[in-house]
Amino acid sequence: MTASSGAGSVGPRTGRRHGARHSGRGLTRWLFLLPALVLLAVLIVYPIGDAIRLAFTSWDGFSAPHSIGLSNFEDLLKDKRFKESLLHNLAIVVAIPIWIAVPYAVACGIHTKVAGWRFFRLVFFLPVVLSPVVLGAYYGIVLAESGPLNGALRSVGLGGLAHEWLNDPALTLPVVIGIIIWATFGVGVLIFLAGLANLDEEIVEAAQVDGASRWQIQRHVVFWQLLPVIEFWTVIIVIASFTAFFPLIYTLTKGGPGTATFTVDFDLYSEAFTSGRLGYASAIGVVMMFIILVTCGGLVALLRWRRS
């Protein structure tokens, strides 16, 4: 159990040459692996290639796709809604520090065994098990103009704070991002708690003996020991920031008001299955894949560089 999260290392070691003598002849071994490999090859590896091929075609979902060269990508450059979607994803990326800080702080709070910490640990996990569809429908009702939140604000005399949470172009995207952070922070708390449980208590105690303040310990001891876990969580949410928003947006805002909450994954879905432009949507998918590859690759490279 050393500290290398899945962040980018080429995976745990498996090359242990052992126990092979009993394992039968060559082919039977592969028979264990084959069904999974075939399924992955057909439904994941092949589609990746097909996604790239389709990006250079025009396809309406009925007739056969026909090749149109680069014109999907040329159109993307002029596509206002797509650019706006990209900007919204950028806003989500900008919110990532909050997405890291909230579960980190909560996990540290639980780790100090604040009163009722067992209860909190349990309850903070509750939103995680609920479908984004359920959360979207729930917030759709609660945040409605005449919904309970505005009602509560008005009844305690804070009517000035009542907003059209889901119908205000400037407000709705932050609301959606906030809901996603809220819906996923329970996983982060669990992950950070697992990291805190593996903390080297001796170093913490040594720091206490040396008279370090609580904040100094947090800043110089705990933080650095948790860094691999923080990196692990960061990679998870970077991927999630491109893919976790669709179900919530689909149920909560449908990309609206106007295009205020269009994200790249929602734009891809709408182009494909609302406008029937599946080739064009494939081009969006390819751009998205490229962006995630570059972002994650850059992130991993940055982390490696910093570590050495």
Partner 1 sequence: MNAAADSPPLRPRLTARRGIGRPSVGKLAIFVIFAALAASCIYPLLFVASTALRTNADYRASPGGLPSSFTSENFERAFSQLHIGRLALNSLMVVVPAVILIAILACCAAYALVHLEIRLSRLLLAAVICMMALPPTVLLIPIFKLVLDVGLLNNRLGLILVYTALNLPFSIYLLTAFMRSVPVELLRAAGIDGAGPVRTLWSVVLPLIRPGLMTLVTLNFLFLWNELIFSLVILQQGMGRTIMVGIAQFQAQPEKNYGVVAAGLLLSMIPPLLIFVFFQRDLARGLTAGATK
Q: What residues from 276 to 295 belong to the interface with partner 1 (CB under 8 A)?
A: 278, 281-282, 285-286, 288-289, 292
Q: Which of 90, 114, 301, 302 binds partner 1 (CB under 8 A)?
A: 114
Q: Six-digit token pair at 106?
A: 């909560």
- Residue closest to 176 by CA, chosen among 139, 151, 207, 203: 139
**The Cα angle at residue 74 between residues 70 and 77, in degrees rounded to 5:** 145
Could you tell me the smallest distance in angstroms from the CB atom of residue 211 to partner 1? 19
Neighbouring-strand partners of residue 67: 57
Q: Distance between CA 18 and CA 185 in Å, rounded?
A: 41
* 302 belongs to the binding site for partner 1 (CB under 8 A): no
Closest to partner 1 by CB, 50 vs 164, is: 50
Cβ contact 56:72 at 8 Å:
yes
* 30 belongs to the binding site for partner 1 (CB under 8 A): yes
From the list 23-31, 71-79, 81-89, 201-209, the region that binds partner 1 by CB under 8 A is 23-31
Q: Six-digit token pair at 66?
A: 């026909």
- Binding to partner 1 (CB under 8 A) within 198-257 occurs at 198, 229, 232-233, 235, 239, 242-243, 246-247, 250-251, 254
From the list 66-74, 76-84, 183-191, 205-213, the region that binds partner 1 by CB under 8 A is 183-191
Q: Which of 56, 70, 107, 119 binds partner 1 (CB under 8 A)?
A: 119
* 159 belongs to the binding site for partner 1 (CB under 8 A): no
Element (H, E) at 16: none
* 169 belongs to the binding site for partner 1 (CB under 8 A): no
From the list 49-57, 73-81, 85-93, 203-211, the region that binds partner 1 by CB under 8 A is 49-57
